[in-house]
Structure 1
């Protein structure tokens, strides 16, 4: 069970259409496949999706930090020495998705070694999750058409609407169009990606008060401490901290400072080990969580649903598990399938997926 090698493989898969939001847009999945090899011949795999406009990581930086800093520190450890691995990676500041991918690949290797599913090792609460789909910036008619297509084809009835444009009426109009087209039984919530000021967000939320929005995520920048606190105190919709909470300490700051009332957990950002820390932290404080998405491919989505389904708190709400639908291809031998609005955890040991070597050879960018 000793780690003998860690590799980071950059790959690029185009999206069928760009996903646009307040902090940027994504047209190509320039991700990194992280593999942890053991002396038993087991290989654990996970995915690191860099978001330079959010965390400062790039595909190149993830490859470099995994291979040049993390691998030399972790080779020789056993798969059970996860706390030691965590402590050694934490010596390096930042790099959340690189750390998360290594952590999840270690868990995958452990599950494969023990011939057990990772979701069972993490908690085993259920084997599936309801799915939420993100709708990015586009003309109102296109946003409505996308939501209707996803609802009709996959049975999804929860949608996170990207907001944060100026003027705020653009997003108010889009949310109103979605509510009118989808009806009252579909759940809608909004994600600003820090695009508005607190006053703009307050004006927008007032204008959408009749739409039955269930959550409001990162409407304004985390650095605007007093503005976020004022905004959270005046709105009746739960406010979700996402990009602002990459560490347990950030979670404490946002919650105790009154800047948020809920937390988004992303396995792409905090892996399995730190995600569990944050989940239990929130449970102890009586705070709800929602399972987020970092525009993951199918590898990352399989990791996310394995974690979300493993715990009661993270499986209560629909998780953001459908963005891989917009990718033109993926790496798995057996693609993930959303049916009846749900995504089932992959069966089998580890996280339950296998990477197609032909597809990886085609899409990797280091050869």
Structure 2
């Protein structure tokens, strides 16, 4: 089965409210829908969510690198020649969202061709995951009110709290308010997006020790080599590397150097193929993983839950699968539904979803 065409469709869907965190702020999902067409009539889809303040990609750069570099190299290749395809893609440095979208679209085609869901091809461990909801910067009262609403509406009891502000006290007050209002049955963990220094993070963790946090993610920059190692060494919960460990090689160095004790896997940045390599390395080194979120829409969330549910190690913890709730609309013909704090993997062949062409026409930016 040969690749005959690769489409890139930039689109923009506003969020219902600004999403704020230490490394940036977003008001609109400016993503790129990627479609890979074949000579047998099958089409694979995936979403590329650029994050310029983290990885340097933009909507325009994703579109350009696929149209100008990747598509000409991949045209006519067999969709199952993944190693050859990845070798060609990796001749160009960076561009993780663009490469990942192409990889996942090819997996979508593979699933469709044999009539099986991608999650089964990847491993088929379970058919759903527990959901973690991300809480952005705001006042303690507003953050707590959002968490209460999310718990009441969707049954979610795991919350990732964005921290990394100055003064640090603003974030500590939010965490303490969440614990007081939500009670002991709710799981809380923090993500600093490298916003604090190592010493600030150490002080904050000491002050939050009685709240029973379960993870600490990217509280300070990995470039602060000695400070980060001291912080990780004394951290009582798994310390998660996210944007500081974006490739299998970086993951290995991060774990062996003591920069982290757990890893966030994001299919939007390592696709399915690269994510498996990261996951298996973590298993071999005895490091936990959490399925992260690149502020994904529903299509990106489908990819995350399909991968996370496919493996025992990636399904143990709640996955960050609810950011699409903050979008004012989406592109799928059938919306995802979180119920009882879990999200099920769509059951159809491939990714098991379809794009609503009317909505795509409404939000696309290239017409």
Figure out how many residues of one structure are paired with residues of the other and give that number.
Answer: 367
The 2-side partners of 1:63 and 1:246 are apart by 21
The 2-side partners of 1:210 and 1:120 are apart by 41
**Any idea what the Cα deviations from partners look like across 1:308-357, whole Å, max 9, x if unmatched?**
00000000000000000000000000000000000000011000100000
Matching of residue 234 in structure 1 with residue 219 in structure 2: no
How far the C-alpha of 1:251 sits from its partner, in A, is 0.3
How far the C-alpha of 1:26 sits from its partner, in A, is 1.1
The 2-side partners of 1:222 and 1:107 are apart by 33
Counterpart residue number, 1:166: 166
The 1-side partners of 2:224 and 2:364 are apart by 40
The 1-side partners of 2:32 and 2:96 are apart by 13
Q: Structure 1 unaligned runs (5+)?
A: none
- Matched residue of 2:189: which SS? strand
- Matched residue of 1:246: which SS? coil
- Matched residue of 2:314: which SS? helix
Counterpart residue number, 1:185: 185
Counterpart residue number, 2:341: 341
Counterpart residue number, 2:57: 57
- Matched residue of 2:230: which SS? helix
**Any idea what the Cα deviations from partners look like across 1:268-324, whole Å, max 9, x if unmatched?**
000000000000011111111000000000000001100000000000000000000
How far the C-alpha of 1:234 sits from its partner, in A, is 1.5
- Matched residue of 1:329: which SS? coil
Counterpart residue number, 2:361: 361
How far the C-alpha of 1:131 sits from its partner, in A, is 0.2
- Matched residue of 1:328: which SS? coil
Counterpart residue number, 1:152: 152
Counterpart residue number, 1:90: 90
The 1-side partners of 2:107 and 2:320 are apart by 22
Task: Please list, as runs of the form range in 1=range in 2, the aligned pairs for 1:308-323 lying within 5 A after superposition.
Answer: 308-323=308-323
Task: Please list, as runs of the form range in 1=range in 2, the aligned pairs for 1:105-184 lying within 5 A after superposition.
Answer: 105-184=105-184
The 2-side partners of 1:179 and 1:270 are apart by 34
The 2-side partners of 1:103 and 1:289 are apart by 21
Following TM superposition, the consecutive aligned residue runs of length 4 or more in structure 1 with deviations greater than 4 angstroms are: none
How far the C-alpha of 1:199 sits from its partner, in A, is 0.4
- Matched residue of 1:203: which SS? helix
The 2-side partners of 1:157 and 1:115 are apart by 35
How far the C-alpha of 1:177 sits from its partner, in A, is 0.1
**Any idea what the Cα deviations from partners look like across 1:55-107, whole Å, max 9, x if unmatched?**
00000000001111111111111111011111110000000111000000010
Matching of residue 37 in structure 1 with residue 37 in structure 2: yes
The 2-side partners of 1:10 and 1:3 are apart by 21
The 1-side partners of 2:238 and 2:348 are apart by 37
The 1-side partners of 2:313 and 2:213 are apart by 21
- Matched residue of 2:106: which SS? helix
Counterpart residue number, 1:332: 332
- Matched residue of 1:8: which SS? strand
TM-score by length of 2: 0.99
Matching of residue 46 in structure 1 with residue 59 in structure 2: no
Q: Structure 2 unaligned runs (5+)?
A: none
The 1-side partners of 2:118 and 2:238 are apart by 31
The 2-side partners of 1:340 and 1:160 are apart by 18
How far the C-alpha of 1:114 sits from its partner, in A, is 1.5
Task: Please list, as runs of the form range in 1=range in 2, the aligned pairs for 1:288-327 lying within 5 A after superposition.
Answer: 288-327=288-327
TM-score by length of 1: 0.99
How far the C-alpha of 1:216 sits from its partner, in A, is 0.2
Counterpart residue number, 2:78: 78
